[in-house]
Each structure stands twice: as structure tokens, then as C-alpha cells.
Structure 1
Amino acid sequence: MERGGYKISDIYQGGYSSLTPPSGNYITAATLGMTTDPRTANILQEVSTKLSSGVKHIEVEAVSPEIFDSIPKQHLKEVNRLSKLTGIDVSLHGPVMNVSGITQQGFSEAEREAMERRVADVLIRSHELNPDGNIPVNFHSAEGFPGSQLLPPSEREEGKKARKLVIVDKETGQFAALEPEVQYRPGAEKLEPEHITPEQKLDINNKTKWGNSISQLIFNKERADEILEDH
């Protein structure tokens, strides 16, 4: 076999060396952003300290509702003044809240409305950070309740679109998960499986609950009529 006239340096130029770092890819501190310490309500000191690094964006971390409530209004105004003097942008990370109204006991409309008012209060207070304009306000939800699951588009049919439905009783606040089920009706001449979809089970549950409510109402009426007749 004929030997080629080449050198290793022609094929492999070597890797990165820490002794000769590459140049030309530097970025300025102004392109970066920082956050305040979420454990403290002294955001004025936090913002002043972070400004010395040269960043141009600072987010006020108020992930704890207790910390957010303890931030003085004057601090918010002073942060606005600092942002104007230094030319930085300010955003706010609102408290982590369960905005859906879902608690360990189930769904609560009163809890949902309370959290809705809480969100509005955060937005109103955040306006102090920039009274002349708008600032980004970031919210993260705290709940991790599993939701309904849809079937793939290729498997969906009329009245059959969900793999699992998560429902809530508005009166009791209790949750239930409805999944497909196979039923067999006893006494039938030919025992064949009947496939019940989550949508059908939801309809059955609603009709059953409505029927039970009407039956209870009729029973109470009959009982009241009997008492009136006896007296």
C-alpha cells in the first residue's frame, strides 16, 4: 500500500485549549438580568446591590404572599425612581397562588374568588413600579391537579373525544375522574360488551344526580303534606 504524504495536523487541528481561550464572543452585562432575593422584603437594597453589576433588567421576586405583603409601598416607588435614573427595566414575579380555587377538600368558588381578588391586588401594587407605563408581571400557579386527557385527533369521533374527563360537583366541590368502561348487561339474550365513553358517563352522572334531587324533593313534599293533613 502506498504511503500518503500527509501530516496529522492536516486532518485534526486540535481541540479547545484553556491556555488560548477563543475571543470575539463576549457579551456585556447589560444583556443579562438578575432577580432580587425572594426571601427578603427589602427590595430597595436588593435592587441597589444588583445594579452595581451593570445589568439592565431586574425582576422583583415576590413569590411568597407574606413577603409581598410586607414590601413597603415606598420601596416600590423608590425602585421606580432608581429605574429611571439608571435606565433599567423592572418586572415583577407575583406570589405563587392557587388561582383555580382547588383545595385539599375540593373546589371552592369562594376560594377562587379570593385568589382572583388577590391577583388584582398584585397588579394594582405592581403599578407603583412604573406608574407611567406597564411592567411585566409573572404568575405561577401552585396547583398540580391532573386534568382531562383528549384522544389523538385521529381517534376522535362524535361524542368520543376524551380519554379521561375530570369533573367537579359544583355543590360539594368534589372531583371525579371518568374513564372509558366496558359494561355487560345481565339478562340479555346475547352477552355483548358495551363500551361507555367518558362523555356518556358524564351524561349518566348528571341524569342520576338530577333524578335523585327530584326524588328527594318529591319525598320532602309528600312528607310535608302528611304533616299538614295530620294537623
Structure 2
Amino acid sequence: MSEMILVYEYMSNGPLRDHIYGSNLPHLPWKQRLEICIGAARGLHYLHTGAAQGIIHRDVKTTNILLDENFVAKTHVSTAVKGSFGYLDPEYFRRQQLTEKSDVYSFGVVLFEVICARPAINPALPRDQVNLAEWALQWHRKGMLEKCLADYGVDRPSMGDVLWNLEYSLQLQEASSQIEPPEDKSTKLIPLDGKDSDGSPTAPVDDNSGETVSSPLFSQIGGFQGR
């Protein structure tokens, strides 16, 4: 009896999802999260532009972004129209056609998962926050976020644009980490509750890496602390 099987490269660190929520694995610092997102975006950009007709991934989500022993991201590629609840392009329901911008939408949900350290769908949250994409769109309508989750594909950036912005954000992150704080006795630690000793708000801090999240990419949602 003959069978046809698919053999994938072994990825020792498993799916990205396990490293941002839902497991006891060590937390990822912001820089490493950015590097992983850049690796995934680069892979999707290659799929969209590397072949004559372009290839649509069809099922971008944190469980399909796999990490090797060096935390380098690779994406598991589907060959059928799948899509997962919470990630599926709403335009697909209208047109019954997946495009490269459908991958962009799904990757936008992934980015919010990485930033917020929460699932795409969480029924335990308040009603307006259950669906991560819908919650993010509330901020997009206020002009505070990127356009990956725009309702219509024509209004979304290309994966190349997304990749460029992620690489630029990594440059900002690396530049900020090279700035040494002044050796002044008045320098003080920033409490994790986001408020100074006098009750005034401070800059948001990622509770994993101890770094101040001051990049423009995160400035509008910095108060939302992830794992």
C-alpha cells in the first residue's frame, strides 16, 4: 500500500504561539519578537513576489509560524484554502477569493497577538475585546494603528511595506538600547504599574525585558502589557 506524505523540517522551538502565551516557556523580549515577525514577514513577502504568479499562504497564524533552535521563523505553507477563525480576511466572505492582501490581514492579527500576548479569539474577555482583530480595528478607526486589518484589501499595505516598517522598528529598538541612561542620582526605576510614586503616569514598560516601550510602533497601545 502506497501513501503520499509531506515531510517538514524539524523546528525545535515549535510554534510562535507557545512563546507569547498559553505555555510555561520563557518570555520573549521585544527585540526577539520583532526579529521573529521580520522573519515571518520576509517569508510571506517572498511567497508573494518570488514566483511568477505569486503564492498565497492561506493560513497565516501564530501556530503556523515555527521557530528553529535559533528562534529563526519559518512559515508552514498550506496548499488549500483554509483560514482560521479570528484570522480570516473579511473580504473573503464578500468575494469568495483569497489574495495576497488576505495574508496581510492574517499577519496583522499575528502582529497584535505578539504585541498584546493574547489569542486572536478569547471569549473570557469583555464583549468588545473577544475578537482581537475587531478590537484592534477600533483603534485603527481612530487613526492610531497601521492598516493591515483594513476591511478592504486595497487599503492594506503590501507585505513588502509591512516588512520595511518592521525592519525600521527593529532599527529604532536597537538604537534606543544603545543609549546609556545618565549617571544621575535622580534616575529611578519605572514601576510596572505604569505610575510614578506621586501617581502620575510613566512610560509603559514591557514586564519581560524591562525595556521602555518608546518606539512609535507601540506608542499608542503601550499601556497594554503582554507576557
Range class of TM-score, shorter chain: under 0.3
Greater RCO structure (CA 8 Å; 6+ sep)? 2
TM-score, structure 1 as length reference? 0.19
Larger Rg: 1
